[in-house]
Amino acid sequence: MRRRKTVICREGWYYLLVLAFVALGSVLRNVNMLMIVSTIMLFTLIFSWRMAIKSLRGVTLHRKIPRMIRSGDILDIELDVRSAKSRSLFTQAGSRCLEIDETIRHLLPKSQLAKKNIHLMCWYLPRGGEENLTYRARLLQRGLYRIGPTRIATGFPLGLIRHIRILDHGDRLVVFPRTGRLLPAFDRIFAQLQLGMRGDPLRQDRQTGDFHGLRDWREGDSRRVIHWRSTARRGIPLVREFEQQHHQELNLLVDLGSEQHYRDPARIEQVIGFAATIASEFCRHRDGSLRLVIVGAEITSGGGANQPRLLEQLLTLLATADTRPLGETGKSPEHAFEQGIQLLCRGEDRIRPTLILSPYAREPATVSSMRDASARKSTAGGPIRCINTNSDAFEQFFDQTG
């Protein structure tokens, strides 16, 4: 892509045609007046060309876009156009009639969306000054967008020759999925998963939280929490008590499939919004670890301990998830699902509770046996719950309009 280009406008071609006619007539008829007129016309054309080039020299652009935006939100983009100071007499008056063109193109996931063109006008840019331009857009689909490159052009003062410059290569913007509201039915499933983790014998004796005090021993307490010095001094068993921390963990496997697996083609976007809502609520209200695996046209994964950038990472994975049919990638749905399960058999991911969103009716026992077959260790895995996103019961877990 050429960063600078000069073109002759339609009016310029008409002007050249008249100039050629006058110059040819002056030569054939040997008319001095026509020679003078053709010389003046040629000088005017060259002057217009040099002024167009000088007007764009030293012009720069800075674009300001929001850091995070969700599909359907209004996108405000601010362009800061600046002009450097110059000692040339031709450009001391500044630049006039600057036409600014930008494009918004949808990159990922692959779609048939046509690029959008935005046309702006800056009537006067003083030399050494700046001008702020703002426009709004509404991006209705999730994904990765490229805003730009920005083209600036001018044909001032006569409009015969148009000089074009490309000021930047554009910026990339991730539009996150639209979130909704989790319903009480999902809260019950999540509570069951966390209750199953508290019953895990590997974590019963884990001492978390700050030391709170001593209390009498109760049946079922572990010997690891007995305070032996106080027990010897009092003559009765005493145990250490810690403040309970709300540390919660979750593996979220999103089996997207493709539109052909759903009775309603729009359901697949609801599933992505459901997963985005789960990730948003988890990162906003809970202290723990969240692991996300997406099984689509490609298998992607991410997550970890809850930290400020975790939500942005997870929403980016969901925003760019490709929902093309798996047949185009040479993978069967079951084979892709097994690969997603294998990603949850590494390290501590295996003993976390797992929630599966899938358009197929999957039994937790079958998924558990698949996970045990993929694991290299004999450690017992965490509890598993499956939600059939292709059934009518899916509506009781998630409200997209919330």
Angle at which helices 333-342 and 364-374 cross, to 10°: 60
Rounded to whole angstroms, the Cα distance separating 231 from 238 reads 5
Number of separate helices (H) and strands (E) present in the chain = 8, 20
In CATH terms, are 1-176 and 181-185+247-399 the same topology? no
- What pLDDT band is residue 204 in, cutting at 50, 70 and 90? very low
Q: Which two tokens stand for residue 380?
A: 């017992």
- What pLDDT band is residue 329 in, cutting at 50, 70 and 90? low
Nearest to 283 by CA among 254, 306, 253: 306
Domain spans in the chain, listed from the N-terminal domain onward: 1-176, 181-185+247-399, 209-244
- What pLDDT band is residue 343 in, cutting at 50, 70 and 90? confident
Q: What is the pLDDT of residue 228?
A: 86
Rounded to whole angstroms, the Cα distance separating 303 from 289 reads 8
- Give the largest CA-CA distance in the chain: 130
Nearest to 156 by CA among 84, 91, 95: 95
Nearest to 352 by CA among 244, 242, 251, 240: 251
We find that the CATH architecture of domain 181-185+247-399 is 3-Layer(aba) Sandwich (3.40)
We find that the CATH architecture of domain 1-176 is Sandwich (2.60)
The DSSP result for 179-193, as a single string, is P-EE-HHHHHHHHHH
Average pLDDT, integer, range 191-196: 77
The answer to whether the CB of 169 falls within 8 A of the CB of 151 is no
Rounded to whole angstroms, the Cα distance separating 220 from 263 reads 50
Q: Is 276 helix (H, G, I), strand (E, B) or coil?
A: helix
**pTM for the full predicted model:** 0.80
pLDDT per position as a tens digit, 352-395:
899 999 998 888 888 888 887 776 655 567 889 999 998 888 99
